[in-house]
Amino acid sequence: MPYAQLEMQEFSDDPRCDWCGLSMYTTERKARAQFAFLLGKFPSARTRYGDHLAEISLTQHHGVQTRPRRNGHFTLYEYDGIDLVRLACLTGPL
Amino acid sequence: MIDLTFSGAIKIGALPISLQYVRTLEALDGPLLVEFQSKAGDTFLYYWCEREQDINRWLIVRTPTQDLARYLVGVTNARELILQCRDGFVYLVDIGKTRTPINIFFIGVDSLPLHYVPTEQSYHGFAVNIDEKQQDVFISEQLDYQEVTTDYPRRYLQAYGFNALFGPHGDASTLEKIDYKLTQGYVFNTLFRNFRKHIRLDKRASLVGVGVASPGYVRFAVDPAVAADLRRAVAGYLKAVAEINGEITLLSRWVGGREVMEEPAAVRVFLGLCSRLEVDGRLILTRVDSTETAIKSVQSYLNKLRYLADNDTAQTAMLVGLQRREVALDDTDTDDAEDLS
């Protein structure tokens, strides 16, 4: 769920558009590498970001996305009514 | 479940300090590291710890500006920022849907739960809001007082000024033709002072803070775009130092009559060098009385760039926000939305 929808905006002085999107990675390898980095810095990251990885084959009908960065990260802004959970396929624990 | 009863923590009724939001330093689907400032001007960091349903727990640690600068340039990591903080204690604050804290604890860093303490690899990443209207420079113990207070700021501001006129976001429309002989150091100083006069007021940089403690910091008020251009120029210089030095040596020899080359050929080398340095070579040529003067001006700019780059490499003065290496969670690229197709 996008950060903005969680209504956890402790620091809403500086809202950002990408808090209304979903963070995704282009490959499983890149997602795992980023999560490992995240865990090193925020050891309880699983309590915030979850503990499993899922794969989704996105198409242009699902929404708009940002250009992937070198680390594979991009933000997806899904179209209204799109249920991404139904499309997700669990790949394993993080 | 967030453990509210771990040993060593003392529950308090309210934070004894009033903090004002400054900027979000790191974020991934929401803030992770946030800078605040107290009324007394002290910097405090909110470091995200863990979450339970609607409650996020944050660690608040007082972090002197020079320590934050050390972290932002990659000299130290988050683990050291917390475990070696000057106060020896931090606050833990639970924040729910509203901003009102639910619980506040006072705790010595030695008593922090292990799962709140970052690892040795916790270097700066997820960068956001680096292009602020300030450019911080981390200063190590090796740089002496004179360099911190005078030499470094002067050269930074000179390089910045050149970029503000001739860089990618430059504007030299009010700069008249330079028609005096560039010979010795003070003439070049005059030249750069002249450059500064023609920078648009809203793009001018100035020195706004110096911390001469060991380690220390220097802070400039800047235009974000010009400051970013200068950081890119320093990074570009470091990446192509051999080629750049080769080209400027060739041009200097030509100016000194020690290299035989037709002027159009020298201009081509000059334009190639300028392109590499991301400054507008053609514009520079229109603002000077000769190709020689243009070359000398760029050479002088290059000396400033080299000074900034050498200090950064030696870790004696490091520009916050300079791209030195790939960070694992690089969040600094432009984030333009586009169709999935």
Contacts of A64 in chain B (CB under 8 A): 337-340
Q: What is residue B337's predicted lDDT score, i.e. its pLDDT?
A: 42
- A80 CB near a chain B CB, below 8 Å? no
pLDDT (0 to 100) of residue B220: 93
CA–CA separation, B149 and B137 (whole Å): 12
B105 confidence band (pLDDT: 50, 70, 90) = very high
pTM of the model: 0.73
Distance from CA of A36 to the nearest CA of B (A): 9
| B19-27 vs B9-11, strand pairing mode | unpaired
Q: Rounded to the nearest 5 degrees, what angle is found at the Cα of B224, between the Cα atoms of B62 and B283?
A: 155
- Map residue B208 onto helix, strand or coil: strand
Q: Which of B29, B121, B337 sits opposite A66 (nearest CB)?
A: B337
The predicted model gives B116-123 an average pLDDT of 90
Region B240-261 average pLDDT:
94
Q: What is the pLDDT of residue B2?
A: 59
State residue B330's pLDDT score.
44
Query: What pLDDT band is residue B66 in, cutting at 50, 70 and 90?
Result: confident
In angstroms, rounded to a whole number, what is the distance separating the alpha carbons of residues B312 and B324? 9
Residue B1 has pLDDT above 80, yes or no: no
Band (pLDDT 50/70/90 cuts) for residue B340 is very low
pLDDT of residue B183: 66
Residue A16: its pLDDT value, please?
A: 67
CB contact under 8 A, A22 and B58: no
pLDDT of residue B322: 87
**Per-residue model confidence as pLDDT tens digits over A29-48:** 999 998 998 999 999 999 98
Distance from CA of A31 to the nearest CA of B (A): 10
Nearest CA to B33 among B48, B44, B15, B18? B48
d(CA B300, CA B307): 11
pLDDT grade, residue B288 (50/70/90)?
confident
Per-residue pLDDT, A70: 80
Taking only residues 28 to 67 of chain A, the set having a beta carbon closer than 8 angstroms to any beta carbon of chain B reads 33-34, 36-38, 40-44, 47-49, 58-67
Q: Which residues pair with B9 in a beta bridge?
A: B107
Residues 6+ apart with CB under 8 A from B8: B107, B108, B110, B111
pLDDT value for A26 = 93
- The gap between the terminal CA atoms of chain A, to the nearest Å, is 18
Per-residue pLDDT of B208-246, as tens digits, reads 888 776 678 899 999 999 999 999 999 999 999 999 999
Whether the pLDDT of residue B295 is over 90: the answer is yes
| Cis amide leading into B215 (omega within 30) | yes
Counting beta carbons within 10 angstroms of the beta carbon of residue B40, is it exposed (0 to 12), middle (13 to 18) or buried (19 or more)? exposed
Distant-in-sequence, close-in-space partners of B331: CB < 8 Å, separation ≥ 6: A69, A73, B26, B27, B28, B125, B126, B127, B128
* Most confidently predicted of B5-9, B130-134, B151-155: B151-155
| Mean of pLDDT over chain B | 86
| Helix segments in chain A, DSSP class H | 28-41, 46-49, 84-87
With CB atoms and an 8 Å threshold, state whether B21 touches A70. Answer: no
Q: In the 8-state DSSP scheme, what is residue B4? A: S
At residue B285, does pLDDT exceed 90?
Answer: yes
Tell me: pLDDT of B339 over 50: no
Whole-angstrom CA distances from B312 to A85, B74, B246, B324 are: 47, 11, 21, 9
User: Given a cut of 50, is residue A56 above it in pLDDT?
Assistant: yes
* pLDDT on residue A91: 92
Please give the C-alpha separations between residue B301 and each of B82, B152, B155, B291, in angstroms, as whole numbers. 40, 14, 9, 15
Q: Is A24 on the interface with B (CB under 8 A)?
A: no
**Is residue A5 within 8 Å of residue A15, measured between CB atoms?**
no
Query: What is the per-residue pLDDT across B14-24, written as a single tens digit (0 to 9) for each?
Result: 999 999 888 88
Q: Single out the residue of B226, B161, B170, B230 nearest to residue B193, CA to CA.
A: B161
